[in-house]
Structure 1
């Protein structure tokens, strides 16, 4: 008899699970857990603020960033945004690595490609990185110089999982890449998840030119933009490589840091 009661009790926890809070909006428990992890990662808690650190408040921050109705309640549309592949850096500048608008002070910024993806020939990666830098340099008085040895201002590479910083990659999908604001050490460095399928735009996969241009925007000091047409928008959208260019929002942002190019 005791054994039978024990077996019944063992079967109860799933049916006695605590109800989800009102801000869960009726989504499933796995979706609610995914949403909590997403908000903690991309809308980090601020130690100076108590009232603004609830999940409801963070959800409202996300809704404001993506120009959605600010309800503080989760829904299927928000879940769909959370499931899109995206950059691994936070969306809210005040809580990200970009609070003081850091920028490079030298007119010549060096970069080095430390490692390559198996998806593209090295020469193609070199070409696409150079093109990404050119898109930015056309708008600002900075020149970018590739070096092959030693430590550059911006170190670029592909890696899997944990790779020496506080932002381990998570396998295919979700986080595609991340980059750090200008500064010493990791400052300026850009890392790409080798578990993604990278492409030059001629096949199915993540367009490396688009991702590289976005991450190098972080390497130059830009945070995320809430303009869906901007390269610095946090979620990945497949775009035409032939007609790919910076948006006006990107140009205004980078010129605010460095000024306009006069030549």
Structure 2
């Protein structure tokens, strides 16, 4: 039996002109609204409309009480002001159910690696911001399941994501600004799993307009097979409200139990064996941890990337708050725990190093023919790994730091410069080996070593400031 296609319409209640308290005049418009609402979300039969004229035990009273209970309202059984206000609020278009639930038949993806494609973009945000919001929304679910996601740029993906207005080909037209913001379908072939966003909305990354990340996180929960929850703390609650605390949303236990009922726990949960009397290292780094250090640091098309274990922070010019991602969400084939990274921006690519190998990435794609061995760059066999690397744009030179020495690579000639390696302390006075990462920005070199970083002026050949490594993350 094919999984049931159910429309999902997620909207944020930003404000309301309806009274919060007091009686509501039950005119025809209110009666029509109540009947349509109960028919759509609570299986109220059309031929029961006459029961609006009855009291107490009538079917409509029971349906109103059912709706009030689910949405956390006082169970009066009446169309009081709070109930009518709730009926006016934008919300998802699927019927309501209790607790976490799945779509009828519990459809799910029969694999753990799921592809997605962003078919087109809204003009409200830079393309990179849309990419990031969708990736972050998927990461919310990836962190608590064995699922992984990869983005493709052409062809048919499992989840096709698009922006549209009005009628857009699925018989569920959008309705302009407000009301329904998006809809999605449960897992399956064809259009199943797809998510559509109403481009009449004003999409944003913050509290103004409609927050794309929060809407996408909810919708993609449906794309993975989740229905709705009556838990107000749940991401899958049908009436969704924005608050600043949700900008980096964490799933409620209700959401976690729901998605794990379909896909189980992450594989790491089953394989990690705790060692008694030893405090395990947290799996997820905390950006303002005073002891935080970085594995690698680089720029990418004007953005700053800070790598740590299997994650990285991303600082963009459009969003002052650093974004936090899994490396695998952007580059599934890359390893975690990187050694070094640098952007050779005259070639629009970033080189990523781990052990004796390196990869070249352009945007979200790992280039063909990689990984290669670091010795192809001209290192002697005695060099087993790179500690740090940085590109100096003005000179078109890349500096590789290994132990207490450094090599200099000419990006134009693609050859190591003669006379190297040299001692780090000779040419960078005040910088002690071993270096974790190096960044070149604003005319300075920033050397990262443990939880500290050192701002080095190459003209004065001196350290000008000592800072915490995570000061770049607004800590």
User: CA separation in 2, counterparts of 1:224 and 1:148?
Assistant: 31
- Structure 2 stretches of 5 or more lacking a match? 1-22, 47-58, 269-475
Quick check: 110-119 or 67-76, which moved more? 67-76
Q: Tell me what 2:131 maps to.
A: 126
User: How many residue pairs get matched?
Assistant: 233
**SS at the partner of 1:42?**
helix
Q: Tell me what 2:211 maps to.
A: 207
Q: Tell me what 1:5 maps to.
A: none
The answer as to 2:99 corresponding to 1:89 is no
Q: Tell me what 2:403 maps to.
A: none
Once the two structures are TM-superposed, the CA of residue 57 in structure 1 deviates from its matched residue by: 4.6
User: CA separation in 1, counterparts of 2:127 and 2:31?
Assistant: 41
Q: Tell me what 1:228 maps to.
A: 232
Does the 8 A contact of 2:115 with 2:158 survive in 1? yes
Identify the structure with bigger relative contact order (alpha carbons < 8 Å, sequence gap 6+). Answer: 1
Once the two structures are TM-superposed, the CA of residue 71 in structure 1 deviates from its matched residue by: 4.3
Q: Tell me what 2:249 maps to.
A: 244
1:102 to 94, 100, 107: 107
Once the two structures are TM-superposed, the CA of residue 186 in structure 1 deviates from its matched residue by: 1.9
User: CA separation in 1, counterparts of 2:183 and 2:87?
Assistant: 17
User: CA separation in 2, counterparts of 1:97 and 1:40?
Assistant: 21
**SS at the partner of 1:257?**
helix
User: CA separation in 2, counterparts of 1:66 and 1:242?
Assistant: 23
- Greater per-residue strand proportion: 2
Does the 8 A contact of 2:117 with 2:157 survive in 1? yes
User: CA separation in 2, counterparts of 1:196 and 1:149?
Assistant: 26
**SS at the partner of 2:181?**
strand
Aligned ranges 1:40-55 → 2 under 5 Å = 40-44=39-43, 55=60
**Structure 1-normalised TM-score?**
0.80
2:177 to 166, 172, 187: 172
User: CA separation in 2, counterparts of 1:39 and 1:118?
Assistant: 36
Q: Tell me what 1:13 maps to.
A: none
Q: Tell me what 2:27 maps to.
A: 28
- Greater per-residue helix proportion: 1
CA offset digits 1:93-120 (Å, max 9, x no partner): 8xx9911111111111111111211211
**Structure 2-normalised TM-score?**
0.46
Q: Tell me what 1:182 maps to.
A: 187
Does the 8 A contact of 2:167 with 2:174 survive in 1? yes
User: Which structure: larger Rg?
Assistant: 2
User: CA separation in 2, counterparts of 1:221 and 1:244?
Assistant: 19
1:117 to 122, 127, 139: 122
